[in-house]
Amino acid sequence: MSLLVIGTVALDSVKTPFGEAREVLGGSAAYFATAASYFTRVRLVAVVGRDFPEEHYRFLKSREIDLSGLQILEGKTFRWRGEYGFQLNEAHTLETQLNVLETFKPVLPPSYRKAEMVFLGNIDPVLQQEVLRQVERPKLVACDTMNFWIEGRRDELKRTLQKVDIVIINDGEARELAGEANLVKAARAIRSYGPRTLIIKRGEHGVLMFNDKTIFAAPAYPLETVFDPTGAGDSFAGGFMGRLTQTGDLGETGIRQAVIFGSVMASFNVESFSLDRLRRLTRPEIDDRYREFRRLTTVEDLREI
């Protein structure tokens, strides 16, 4: 199956208690596509300016990411500057420069329109809907969003949610979107908007998945070193959707396995700034960490004790 992602490609400047990086490759689509590329071919839709460094093109192409949908416009690339404290659970945005993203209108190349798996990254829900109008009968659509759109584009966001199968958001976003403090109640409310599955990212506390049959919980991988959480959620989504596309298993077992692979990719992402850890990652490392995840959550049956 084929996987399509729309989102941002950006130049990030990030400061954490453990270091600082300036003008490095970032953006939701860049993190997502890189993580997903370890499982399947990815088609990317985004926009950059004429100032986007050639080295970043080369890197994305080296991951065999299809850049036919990457628009290059006159002007500067989207930039984000943020800082983390020792908690590392929330970025403090210091500056956002939309630049060419402000006038971006996604246009899918003909080869993208038959994509079977679609991920709508964290962008204006109006643009998310525009992409869906250009895709022909996808098998599965998933999306992300953020507080900015929940607060400022709630009606448009709800129109998007009516058209998607899976929503992947963090716990704060889930509570705000649903207007519920309790995540179980929030999940019920959000699923009533349209999506049959909700995945809630909880940072160092792992992931919760809700559908009409079950609730599934997965831990975060325990790490000794966390340098930069930027892009962890997008890397999770990339691993999750990449695995689903690779196997084509959209049943309960397939989705649960994909959640774990998403957690694996997020755990690698935070080990370094920008995409530096994902850049040098190998598939054997991914599979080894997946097995470690399974050992973390497996217990003996009571009959065996």
Sign of the alpha-carbon dihedral angle for 5, 8, 12, 17: negative
**Domain assignment present for 293:** yes
| Crossing angle of helices 28-36 and 252-269, rounded to 10° | 120
Structure tokens at 181: 């403090």
Q: Which residue has the tokens 């507080």?
A: 147
Cβ partners under 8 Å of residue 9, min gap 6: 25, 26, 27, 29, 30, 44, 46, 47, 48, 52, 56, 70, 77, 78
Q: Are 14 and 230 in contact (CB under 8 A)?
A: yes
- Taking only the tens place, the pLDDT of each residue in 154-194 is 999 999 999 999 999 999 999 999 999 999 999 999 999 99
Q: What share of the chain is helix, strand, coil (3-state, %, to 5)?
A: 40, 25, 35
Q: Kindly list the distances between the CA atom of residue 39 and the CA atoms of 23, 176, 207, 248, in Å, as whole numbers in the listed order.
A: 28, 33, 21, 12
CA distance 24 to 182: 37
pTM of the model: 0.94
User: Does 182 map to a domain?
Assistant: yes
Residues of the chain short of pLDDT 50, as ranges, are: none
Q: What is the pLDDT of residue 204?
A: 83
Question: Half-sphere exposure of 192 toward its Cβ, with a 13 Å CA cutoff?
Answer: 8
Residue 303 lies in a domain: no
Q: Quick one: pLDDT at residue 303?
A: 62
pLDDT reported for residue 300: 65
Count of domains observed in the chain: 1
Task: Quote the pLDDT of residue 301.
Answer: 61
Note whether residue 304 is domain-resident: no
Q: Residue 164 and residue 179: Cα distance in Å, rounded? A: 20
pLDDT (0 to 100) of residue 225: 81
Tell me whether residue 305 is in a domain: no
Distance CA 10, CA 67 (A): 15
What's the CATH code of the domain at 203?
A: 3.40.1190.20
pLDDT for the residue numbered 213: 86
CB of 56 within 8 A of CB of 83? no
**Segments forming the whole domain that contains residue 104:** 3-298
